[in-house]
Chains A and B, each alone.
Chain A
Amino acid sequence: MDLDDLAAVVRAAGQFSAERVAPMVGFDGRDGDLTQLGTVLAQAGEIGLMASGDAGAAGHELGVWGSLCRTDGPALSLRTLEEVASACAGVASCLHFGGLGALALASFEDAPASAGLALFDHSRMLAERRWSDAVACTMTAEGDVHSLQGAKHFVHAAPGAKAFAVLAKGSTGLELALIQADAPGVQRVEVGQRTGLAACDVFHLELHRVAVSSSRRLREVDAKPWLRRLWLGLCAIGVGNARGALATASAYAEQRRQGGRRIMEHPAVQLLLGGAEARVRVASAALKSAQRQDLCDLDDLRSAAMLKVRVLEDCFQAVNDSLQVLGGYGYMEDYRLEKRLRDALTLRSAAGRADDLLRLVATSAGEEA
């Protein structure tokens, strides 16, 4: 894919974000009008932003984590996520997790069009390099029949996922199993009310002797490329979310007057806005470095872990400073900055604690060398 093609897709994502996603977020309700979410995601599918396991679908190749990312790297997916997240991090999360699920489906024959992807359960175990202990379900064999037993925690998925690609502990290492959402023994447990990313589904899966045929099992799976994509995608969403917050705060600072002048003229506000922009720029630059082809080694989990920690921390701080510019109004739902703050904090907490990832960086230093 050349740069012109990339720019065209990013433009389309920006247009979709402004014309479809932003009106859905609107100004009413805590997280916007989520009854429109199905329509918005369907439109994302129609214009090719939402990846699909169906080879004939518009987003099969160019969608977020569409098949092109295997050969051309993550740049297209990350730029798309950033654009969509500039209007709503939750919708971007749907594209992200839906895309990861669709990409996993490509490993299986006769797979459904969409799926959720359930990777690790305990980031602490990743830090301790205990890959198998980081998953909470096991593939067991009884004769020729294999079945899954255990649980998957905090599964993120676009609404309506009919199947799940589940990482499990096998006898010879990690395995990836594809299971139907309504298969016997699969129970979905809702996690209840959450802080942010409300558009995206989050739940636990309890798995009780869920039968898995051999065609739906991948053995000795290397999960690192999946984790890397997972974390980089969250970073891109964080950058887009922070960009949107900064734009709102900058516009407000130009209009709002205090002390007889625009608040933009107050040094206290300039410091906040300048700091927020610096953080967004640095985070964005760091993420772009990961998109360059020469740095696109999917086994490079360390750099992805570092980015997840630093980029999402900087993005969170940028959103926080942007909210501060609005004073009391930032705390109210009207300007949507409180939603962006909730989303930023959720992104920071999700899919791996910062302390665990930093320890992973430290403990895996030798491997990279």
Chain B
Amino acid sequence: MTSPLSPVEARRTLEPLGRLLYDVQPRTMWERDTRTLPRHLVRARRRYRAFAEQQLAPRELLADRHGEHVDVRPLFLDAARQGFQTELLPRPLGTGSARLLLGGVLWPAVLKAEEFAAGDAGLGLALLAHDLGMVPLLLSGDLAAMFRWQRRIYREIRAGEPAIAAFAITEPGAGSDVEETEGAASACLVTRARKAPGGWRLSGRKCFISNGRVARWVTVFAALEQEGLESWTCFLVDSSMQGFGVGRSERKLGQRAADASELILDDVFVPDDRVIGGLRSGWALNRNVLNYSRPAVGAIGVGIARSAFEHAVRFCRATRLANRSLLSYQDVQLRLASMLSRIQAARATVWQTARYGRPCQAAAAAGKAFCAEVAWDVSTQAMELLGDHGYLHTHAVEKAMRDARLTLLYEGTHQINLLAVFEGQQGAEFAQV
């Protein structure tokens, strides 16, 4: 029996207007947040969620178990049929909504990232990394590249080809260096571009490249011969080009369904028309790509945290102890409420970054850093809440923990992101140093 002191019952004692101002509807926070969005974003969010629930979540445990052996191409085509893999350009060039893009490229990225990661962070990353591979073409502002290449690739995808893209910046001796200013000055780069008649010859190695093994198109960043990182240039490489090879695939702690591979470039000839955004614009382009991708990683963190939380709630609802549901124990309620509160705060942070419209370094890095912490904290709390059940694969919270740990490492380590916040706000909150 409901207590007369409960919020629902107590609300009845108010005047009609008072009742109107007092929301006690039993809606999930997801639903509440969704209703704050403009209608076109509401539609997009619901579509992403439906896809994740139907296509990703049911494969979550199996994909994690089989790790690098998962073939993501059929899933990619399923997502492409929904228009999710060609959203960076508006119709008729792509499938993005002009309204979405005018509101900033970040909104579709963060909404999609949260939902896909909540379904399965590994499969989700494999799908999302495609946009990361394509976004340099957009952010370069190079209209020729957009019309010539992005349109062509999107046409291939819409014709049913798994024309997956990947983004390649990290090198074996330069991980963090290619993600922040100070390290970049003395980065030890091995991937070089040498001028040849009609184009460039690329040699070197890239590592930890998401979708590296399955990508048809790779945006590769290389320094020009005899020059440093300031000469970085973005090249659109076709994986069928002679000299392009894939090395080892990493065995990772989590997000295992997403491939992370080494790319080997052995004198790969890239024609001039595949230079994206002009020579020596690669460093600036890379920095802005990170400003785009970090909010998406923050959203991935929110999605993983949500997955851990939802699995934990499911467990607590289904488990009874001493004739009581676990949900009825106060300490369990405290934990779950703490988790939900943190997820709520993290999502608000990501959405606030998206509201800025244009990607912004400090906001992007701050959001990513905060959400990664939340993902890690919530998923380890979920493990803790389940006790011995927490380390069993079948309940999926340990998987969420393993998936979450990567958010503190990729798109710049946690520390690199914090330094990016400082650098981004120099001359504003911080004096120039």
Asked if chains A and B come from one complex, the reply is yes
Instruction: Report A240 CB to chain B, min CB distance, Å.
Output: 19
B388 to chain A: closest residue by CB: A154
A324 near B321: Cβ-Cβ < 8 Å: no
Partner of A345 from the list B208, B329, B391, B413 (CB cut-off 8 Å) is B391
B388 near A349: Cβ-Cβ < 8 Å: yes
* CB of B238 closer than 8 Å to a CB of A: no
Partner of B408 from the list A30, A324, A348 (CB cut-off 8 Å) is A324
B385 near A342: Cβ-Cβ < 8 Å: no
CB interface residues, A 125-152, toward B, < 8 Å: 125, 130, 133
* CB of A260 closer than 8 Å to a CB of B: yes
Instruction: Report B137 CB to chain A, min CB distance, Å.
Output: 25
CA distance A303 to B175 in the complex (A): 44
Instruction: Report A287 CB to chain B, min CB distance, Å.
Output: 21
A124 to chain B: closest residue by CB: B321
B398 near A328: Cβ-Cβ < 8 Å: no
Q: Is the interface of B mostly helix, strand, loop or mixed?
A: helix
CA distance A80 to B218 in the complex (A): 51
Partner of A194 from the list B187, B393, B408 (CB cut-off 8 Å) is B393
Partner of B251 from the list A30, A193, A261, A272 (CB cut-off 8 Å) is A30
A341 near B405: Cβ-Cβ < 8 Å: yes
Q: Encode contact with B along A335-358: 1 for CB under 8 Å, 0 otherwise.
A: 000100110011011111111100
Q: Given that A133-B322, A258-B176 are known contacts, is A193 also in contact with B393, CB under 8 Å in the complex? A: yes
A345 near B398: Cβ-Cβ < 8 Å: yes
A192 near B394: Cβ-Cβ < 8 Å: yes
Considering residues A261, A331, A332, which has the most beta carbons from chain B within 10 angstroms of its beta carbon?
A331
Q: Given that A257-B188, A349-B390 are known contacts, is A331 also in contact with B406, CB under 8 Å in the complex? A: yes
Instruction: Report A362 CB to chain B, min CB distance, Å.
Output: 11
Instruction: Report B64 CB to chain A, min CB distance, Å.
Output: 9
On chain B, the residues within 8 Å of A349 by CB distance are 383-384, 386-388, 390-391
On chain B, the residues within 8 Å of A310 by CB distance are none
A122 to chain B: closest residue by CB: B321
* CB of A8 closer than 8 Å to a CB of B: no
CA distance A348 to B391 in the complex (A): 10
* CB of A359 closer than 8 Å to a CB of B: yes
* CB of A153 closer than 8 Å to a CB of B: yes
CA distance A311 to B186 in the complex (A): 40
Which range holds the interface residue count of chain A? 35 or more
CA distance A192 to B406 in the complex (A): 24
* CB of A327 closer than 8 Å to a CB of B: yes
A331 near B391: Cβ-Cβ < 8 Å: no
* CB of A183 closer than 8 Å to a CB of B: no
Partner of B413 from the list A191, A324, A346, A355 (CB cut-off 8 Å) is A324
CA distance A354 to B251 in the complex (A): 31
On chain A, the residues within 8 Å of B176 by CB distance are 258-259, 327
Partner of B384 from the list A153, A328, A348 (CB cut-off 8 Å) is A348
On chain B, the residues within 8 Å of A323 by CB distance are 405
On chain A, the residues within 8 Å of B414 by CB distance are 324
Q: Encode contact with A along B130-142: 1 for CB under 8 Å, 0 otherwise.
A: 0000000000000
Q: Given that A194-B393, A355-B335 are known contacts, is A331 also in contact with B252, CB under 8 Å in the complex? A: yes
CA distance A232 to B394 in the complex (A): 28
* CB of A123 closer than 8 Å to a CB of B: yes
* CB of A299 closer than 8 Å to a CB of B: no
CB interface residues, B 211-256, toward A, < 8 Å: 250-254
Instruction: Report A263 CB to chain B, min CB distance, Å.
Output: 9
B183 near A350: Cβ-Cβ < 8 Å: no
B186 near A194: Cβ-Cβ < 8 Å: no
A258 near B177: Cβ-Cβ < 8 Å: yes
Instruction: Report B215 CB to chain A, min CB distance, Å.
Output: 18
B322 near A125: Cβ-Cβ < 8 Å: yes
Which range holds the interface residue count of chain B? 35 or more
* CB of B58 closer than 8 Å to a CB of A: no
Partner of A328 from the list B173, B208, B329, B392 (CB cut-off 8 Å) is B208
Q: Given that A260-B186, A349-B390 are known contacts, is A124 also in contact with B383, CB under 8 Å in the complex? A: no
A345 near B401: Cβ-Cβ < 8 Å: yes
Q: Given that A195-B398, A345-B398, A359-B331 are known contacts, is A268 also in contact with B415, CB under 8 Å in the complex? A: yes
CA distance A260 to B176 in the complex (A): 12
On chain A, the residues within 8 Å of B380 by CB distance are 345
CA distance A353 to B332 in the complex (A): 11
B409 near A195: Cβ-Cβ < 8 Å: no
* CB of B356 closer than 8 Å to a CB of A: no
A352 to chain B: closest residue by CB: B387
On chain B, the residues within 8 Å of A333 by CB distance are 251-253
CA distance A194 to B419 in the complex (A): 36
Q: Encode contact with A along B162-190: 1 for CB under 8 Å, 0 otherwise.
A: 00000000100111110000110111100
A328 near B170: Cβ-Cβ < 8 Å: yes
* CB of A196 closer than 8 Å to a CB of B: yes
CA distance A215 to B292 in the complex (A): 71
On chain B, the residues within 8 Å of A154 by CB distance are 388
* CB of A53 closer than 8 Å to a CB of B: no
* CB of A330 closer than 8 Å to a CB of B: yes
Instruction: Report A252 CB to chain B, min CB distance, Å.
Output: 12
* CB of B195 closer than 8 Å to a CB of A: no
* CB of B32 closer than 8 Å to a CB of A: no
CA distance A352 to B177 in the complex (A): 43
Q: Encode contact with A along B84-109: 1 for CB under 8 Å, 0 otherwise.
A: 00000000000000000000000000
Q: Encode contact with A along B250-273: 1 for CB under 8 Å, 0 otherwise.
A: 111110000000000000000000
* CB of B65 closer than 8 Å to a CB of A: yes
Considering residues A124, A125, A333, A356, which has the most beta carbons from chain B within 10 angstroms of its beta carbon?
A124
Partner of B253 from the list A153, A259, A338, A354 (CB cut-off 8 Å) is A338
Q: Encode contact with A along B50-77: 1 for CB under 8 Å, 0 otherwise.
A: 0000000000000001000000000000
CB interface residues, B 325-339, toward A, < 8 Å: 329, 331, 335
On chain B, the residues within 8 Å of A130 by CB distance are 322
Considering residues A123, A192, A193, A261, which has the most beta carbons from chain B within 10 angstroms of its beta carbon?
A193
* CB of B410 closer than 8 Å to a CB of A: yes
Q: Given that A257-B188, A259-B187, A349-B387 are known contacts, is A331 also in contact with B175, CB under 8 Å in the complex? A: no
On chain A, the residues within 8 Å of B251 by CB distance are 30, 332-333
Sampled A-B contacts (23; CB under 8 Å): A30-B251, A124-B329, A130-B322, A192-B394, A193-B394, A194-B393, A195-B401, A259-B176, A261-B186, A268-B415, A324-B408, A324-B409, A327-B175, A328-B208, A333-B251, A333-B252, A333-B253, A341-B405, A342-B402, A345-B391, A349-B384, A350-B388, A355-B331
The 6 closest A-B pairs by CB, nearest first: A260-B186, A259-B183, A193-B393, A338-B253, A268-B415, A195-B391
Known: A130-B322, A327-B175. 17 other contacts (CB 8 A): A154-B388, A191-B392, A193-B393, A257-B173, A258-B174, A260-B188, A272-B415, A324-B413, A328-B175, A328-B410, A331-B254, A332-B252, A338-B252, A341-B405, A354-B384, A355-B331, A355-B335
